[in-house]
């Protein structure tokens, strides 16, 4: 297992849990942490984990955003190199289904990590926001693009253009998270959600995720062609034979992911 300074990565059977571990700075993402995050995603891919749970160390913050010291030092060229944005895209396109278990402040890049995840659940103490304009910059790791796709343009404008912070209740109302639980129950709830994913055909889950991601990136006709092609792959799969046979034999399927 790779060694990290700013992250803890635990891989347990088919579920990986990545904890951003810089509680003294509310789990802010500096350049080293972003590099480690990429390495952790590679390790999760190599371990063939089906689900990746992302959370933050401590009880205050999920991730408080880009490290403001790093942001101060960054130039126009750094921004154009999309350092943080590439991380969010790597999370979004990862083989594993990602679950953000938001245990506190998810601000700026922290909110953007959550937005890049496939599923989001929150502790009742969680706070979401994209406060970059309070620093004189704009959200630069997907905030202006993924937030409106998830909650709608009007709500996204309200958050970004007023600097609003949303508590967990507001995030649930807006569809930013699918569930809110008391903080002590958060990781159990994330693992239960992971268990629901694990019960499904792994190949089907990967292809469904790819098709869902494609839906925001291509016109309907191309998306439907993508979907049919992905369905054709599942139709020839061992998982399909097992899933349909298990249904007819009234037993639980044992999927292998092929």
Q: What are the DSSP calls for 122-142, one per residue?
A: EETT-EEE--GGGGTS---SS
Min CB(59)–ligand COA separation in Å: 10
Q: Determine the Cα–Cα distance for residues 121 and 101; give it in Å rounded to an integer.
A: 5
List of residues 6+ apart from 229 with CB closer than 8 A = none
Q: State the minimum distance, in angstroms, from the CB of residue 148 to ligand COA.
A: 19
Residue linked to tokens 């799969």 = 237
Q: How far is the CB of 105 from ligand COA (least distance, A)?
A: 4
Q: How far apart are the first and last CA of the chain?
A: 26
Nearer CB in complex with ligand COA: 52/141: 141
CA dihedral 178, 182, 185, 186 (to 10 degrees): 40
Q: Of 14 and 60, which has the nearer Cβ to ligand COA? A: 60
Residues involved in catalysis: 112, 132
State the minimum distance, in angstroms, from the CB of residue 106 to ligand COA. 9
H or E, element range at 15? strand 15-20
Q: Which is nearer to ligand COA, 68 or 192 (CB)?
A: 68
Residue 8 tokens read as: 């803890």
In this complex, which beta carbon is closest to ligand COA, that of residue 165 or of residue 179? 165
In angstroms, the CA 43 to CA 2 distance is 7
E strand or H helix that includes residue 17 = strand 15-20
Nearer to ligand COA, 46 or 169 (CB): 169
What is the distance between the alpha carbons of residues 152 and 50, in angstroms, rounded to a whole number?
A: 29
Binding-site ranges for ligand COA (CB under 6 A): 25-26, 28, 60-61, 64-69, 71, 105, 107-108, 131-132, 135
Q: How far is the CB of 64 from ligand COA (least distance, A)?
A: 4
């Amino acid at each position: 297992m790779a060694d990290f300074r700013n992250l803890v990565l635990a891989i347990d059977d088919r579920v990986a849990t990545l904890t951003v571990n810089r509680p003294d700075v509310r789990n802010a993402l500096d350049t080293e942490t972003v590099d480690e995050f990429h390495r952790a995603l590679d390790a999760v891919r190599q371990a063939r984990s089906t689900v990746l749970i992302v959370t933050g160390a401590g009880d205050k913050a999920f991730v408080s955003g880009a490290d403001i010291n790093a942001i101060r030092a960054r130039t126009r060229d750094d921004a154009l190199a999309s350092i943080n944005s590439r991380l969010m895209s790597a999370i979004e396109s990862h083989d594993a289904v990602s679950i953000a278990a938001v245990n506190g402040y998810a601000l700026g890049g922290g909110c953007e990590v959550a937005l890049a995840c496939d599923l989001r659940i929150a502790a009742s103490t969680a706070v979401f926001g994209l406060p970059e304009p309070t620093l004189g910059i704009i959200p630069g790791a997907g905030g202006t693009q993924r937030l409106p796709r998830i909650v709608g343009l009007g709500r996204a404008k309200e958050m970004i253009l007023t600097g609003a912070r949303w508590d967990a209740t507001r995030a649930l109302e807006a569809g930013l998270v699918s569930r809110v639980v008391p903080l002590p129950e958060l990781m159990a709830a994330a693992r239960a959600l992971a268990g629901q994913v694990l019960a499904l055909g792994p190949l089907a889950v990967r292809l469904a995720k790819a098709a869902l991601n494609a839906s925001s990136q291509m016109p309907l006709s191309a998306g439907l062609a993508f979907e049919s092609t992905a369905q054709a792959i599942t139709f020839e799969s061992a998982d399909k034979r097992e899933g349909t046979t298990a249904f007819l034999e009234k037993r639980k399927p044992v999927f292998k992911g092929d």
